[in-house]
Amino acid sequence: MAAAGSSWGRLPGAAQRLLPIASRHDRLPDEPAMLPFGNGRSYGDSCQNDGGVLLKARMLDRYISFDPASGVIDLEAGVLLSEIIDLALPSGWFLPVTPGTRFVTVGGAIANDVHGKNHHRAGSFGNHVLDFELLRSDGSVRRCSPTENSDWFDATIGGLGLTGLIRRARVQLKRVAGPWLIGDSRRFANLREFFAIATESEADWEYTVAWIDCSGTGRRLGRGIFIRGNHASAQAAVDARPPGNGSLRMPFTPPVSAINGLSLTAFNKLYYHRPGAVATDALWHYRPFFYPLDSIHEWNRMYGPDGFYQYQCAVPEAGAEAVLEEMLRRIGESGLGSFLLVLKTFGTVASRGLLSFPRPGATLALDFPNRGARTLALLEALDDLTRSVGGAVYPAKDARMSAAAFQHYFPRWRDFSRFVDPKFTSSFWRRVTETPNA
Ligand X SMILES: Cc1cc2nc3c(=O)[nH]c(=O)nc-3n(C[C@H](O)[C@H](O)[C@H](O)COP(=O)(O)OP(=O)(O)OC[C@H]3O[C@@H](n4cnc5c(N)ncnc54)[C@H](O)[C@@H]3O)c2cc1C
Q: Give contact residues for ligand X (rule: CB under 6 A).
A: 8, 35-42, 46-47, 57, 77, 99-101, 104-105, 107-109, 111-112, 114-116, 160-161, 165-166, 293, 396
Q: Which is nearer to ligand X, 18 or 266 (CB)?
A: 18
Q: Which is nearer to ligand X, 208 or 237 (CB)?
A: 208
Least separation in angstroms between CB 22 and ligand X: 13
Q: Which is nearer to ligand X, 18 or 256 (CB)?
A: 18
Least separation in angstroms between CB 135 and ligand X: 8
Q: Which is nearer to ligand X, 237 or 392 (CB)?
A: 392
Q: Which is nearer to ligand X, 8 or 406 (CB)?
A: 8
User: 299: left (phi > 0), else alpha (psi -120 to 50), else beta?
Assistant: alpha
Q: Which is nearer to ligand X, 109 or 122 (CB)?
A: 109
Q: What is the H or E stretch that residue 344 is in?
A: strand 341-346
Least separation in angstroms between CB 56 and ligand X: 9
Closest-approach residue to ligand X (CB): 161
Q: Hey, which residues does 351 pair with through a beta bridge? A: none
Least separation in angstroms between CB 387 and ligand X: 21
Q: Which is nearer to ligand X, 332 or 395 (CB)?
A: 395
Least separation in angstroms between CB 189 and ligand X: 25
CA distance 128 to 142: 19
Of the candidates 337, 332, 389, the one whose C-alpha atom is nearest the C-alpha of residue 365 is 337
Q: Which is nearer to ligand X, 112 or 215 (CB)?
A: 112
The answer to whether 353 touches 126, Cβ cutoff 8 Å, is yes
Q: Which is nearer to ligand X, 40 or 179 (CB)?
A: 40
Least separation in angstroms between CB 209 and ligand X: 9
Least separation in angstroms between CB 242 and ligand X: 21
Q: 213, exposed or middle or buried, with CB in 10 Å at 0-12, 13-18, 19+?
A: buried
Considering all CA atoms of the chain, what is the largest pairwise distance in Å, rounded to the nearest integer?
A: 60
CA distance 375 to 321: 23
The answer to whether 356 touches 158, Cβ cutoff 8 Å, is yes
Sign of CA dihedral 196, 229, 292, 308: positive
Beta-carbon-side half-sphere exposure of residue 80 (alpha carbons within 13 Å): 11
**CB contact burial 189-198 (16+ within 10 A = b; e otherwise):** ebbebbbebb
Q: Hey, which residues does 231 pair with through a beta bridge? A: 181
Polymer length in residues for the chain: 438
Q: Which is nearer to ligand X, 59 or 318 (CB)?
A: 59
Least separation in angstroms between CB 106 and ligand X: 8
Q: Which is nearer to ligand X, 310 or 375 (CB)?
A: 310
Least separation in angstroms between CB 187 and ligand X: 22
Q: At what angle do helices 320-334 and 373-388 cross, to 10 degrees?
A: 170
Which DSSP string do the residues of 376-387 spell out, in sequence order?
Answer: HHHHHHHHHHHH
CA distance 258 to 271: 18
Least separation in angstroms between CB 416 and ligand X: 13
CA distance 252 to 5: 18
Name every residue whose Cβ is closer than 8 Å to that of residue 104 and which is 6 or more positions away in sequence.
Answer: 38, 39, 41, 80, 81, 114
Least separation in angstroms between CB 280 and ligand X: 25
CB-CB neighbours of 134 under 10 Å: 25
